Amino acid sequence: MTTNFDLVLNRRNPNNLNKWTTYPKDVLPMWVADMDFRAPKPILDALRKAVDHGVFGYEMPPAALKETVAARMDRLYRWKVKPEAVIAVTGIVSGFSVAAREFCTPRKGVMVQTPVYNEFHAIKNNVDTPQIDAPFVERLDGNILSYEIDWDTFERRVKKAGMFLLCNPHNPLGIVFSRKDLSRMAEICIRNKVLIVSDEIHSELLLEDHPFTPMAALSSEIANHTITLVAPSKTFNVPGLFCGFAIIPNKELRERYAKEVDRLRLHVSSMGLFAARIAFSGKCDGWLAELRRYLTANRDFLVDYVTENMPDVHLTIPQATYLAWLDFSAYKLKKSPYDFFLKKAKVAVSDGKIFGKGSEEYVRLNFGCPRSILEQGLDRMRKSLYRR
């Protein structure tokens, strides 16, 4: 291994407001979804070169960048994308918000599968459109949680939607959807004339080399009904550079989408564009392979630790992402687990309730950090539970 992911970096610069400085100094942050690792060297070198050049003028997404995105889809999934189908956006939240503004209405809402990433829930507050929930069915095997699609609910609820916002791989559940499930979701959406927007921001953070299929790669018919959102941000830990891509093979959809991007004046920063080109070029793939091994080992460490030391906790074994989902309801804590761990363990996790109704007893834990930090966080949580 050439990258030392065990290295603990200091992110507590008092001039920055980030996951390490939001809470008091004695709190370990295991919440917002960025990692405590340096980005790969080729990206740092490209950014350094730009800094040394010293001119930070306006930059537009060049054709070569769109070609790089298209080539990556082909290389990873044999998905043929025309470079012209690629639109740069200022991140994936902006990307799906644009889609909701353009393709949803007060009568035709956005359907999401809950529990799901908190920003999916914010759409209804920012766009005049209702949210339609299609909750997963939870299963428990020993202490391990898994989730399945409730197809009857999916099919019934999607009829009220203008757009289905899929999260694949899923945050916070860590599911990588099978080709079979993706095909069935797509078939139902197309039959009901519902646009599919597939948030695939976590698609390269696969654990144990779990296979991933982009929704739109399944068939040209599905691609024609789908807006795919990808970004190098989670994979290469550059989310603060705010650069993502909407891939829209359907010309009519693409033109409507691009017009809305233009109306909103969503311009990606030059550093985001430079970093994305290198990130998707293949030059960082060795780093990514090492990262995936490290995250897989962190996930295994977490699952083993919880199973041995907090046996009443139910948790997922994520197939992708660096996010775990844990249910503390068996402990009957007087406060929410989020409040409890913040106060008693000095660990900041993400509060389950932000991911949807019924998740109040759950937390999302970010294990994209050096193993020693993960171990410290888990130790603090374990001790706080037994100190009650």
Binding site for ligand PLP (CB under 6 A): 33, 91-93, 117, 167, 171, 199, 201, 231, 233, 239, 244
In 149-266, where do the E strands start and end? 161-167, 195-199, 226-230, 244-247
- Shortest CB 53 distance to ligand PLP, Å: 26
- In b/e form, how buried is each residue of 32-50, taking b as 16+ CB within 10 angstroms? ebbbbbebbebbeebbeeb
For residues 55 and 13, what is the distance between their CA atoms, to the nearest angstrom? 26
Tell me whether residue 368 or residue 380 sits nearer to ligand PLP (CB atom).
368
DSSP code of residue 205: -
Tell me whether residue 276 or residue 385 sits nearer to ligand PLP (CB atom).
276
3-state helix, strand, coil in the chain (%, to 5): 45, 15, 40
Q: What is the DSSP string of 56-112?
A: -------HHHHHHHHHHHHHHH-----GGGEEEES-HHHHHHHHHHHH--SSSEEEE
In 219-369, where do the E strands start and end? 226-230, 244-247, 314-316, 323-327, 347-348, 350-351, 362-366
Tell me whether residue 93 or residue 271 sits nearer to ligand PLP (CB atom).
93
Tell me whether residue 81 or residue 167 sits nearer to ligand PLP (CB atom).
167
- Shortest CB 345 distance to ligand PLP, Å: 23
**Are 160 and 111 in contact, with CB atoms under 8 Å apart?**
yes
Beta bridge partners of 199: 167, 229
Tell me whether residue 280 or residue 340 sits nearer to ligand PLP (CB atom).
280
- Shortest CB 239 distance to ligand PLP, Å: 5
3-class secondary structure, 151 = helix
For residues 12 and 223, what is the distance between their CA atoms, to the nearest angstrom? 44
- Shortest CB 316 distance to ligand PLP, Å: 15
Tell me whether residue 223 or residue 238 sits nearer to ligand PLP (CB atom).
238
Q: How many CB atoms lie within 10 A of CB 153?
A: 15
Tell me whether residue 92 or residue 132 sits nearer to ligand PLP (CB atom).
92
- Shortest CB 260 distance to ligand PLP, Å: 16
Q: Return the closest-CA partner of residue 361 out of 316, 329, 323.
A: 329
- Shortest CB 378 distance to ligand PLP, Å: 21
- Shortest CB 118 distance to ligand PLP, Å: 9
Tell me whether residue 197 or residue 315 sits nearer to ligand PLP (CB atom).
197
3-class secondary structure, 325 = strand
- Shortest CB 93 distance to ligand PLP, Å: 3
Closest residue to ligand PLP: CB criterion: 91
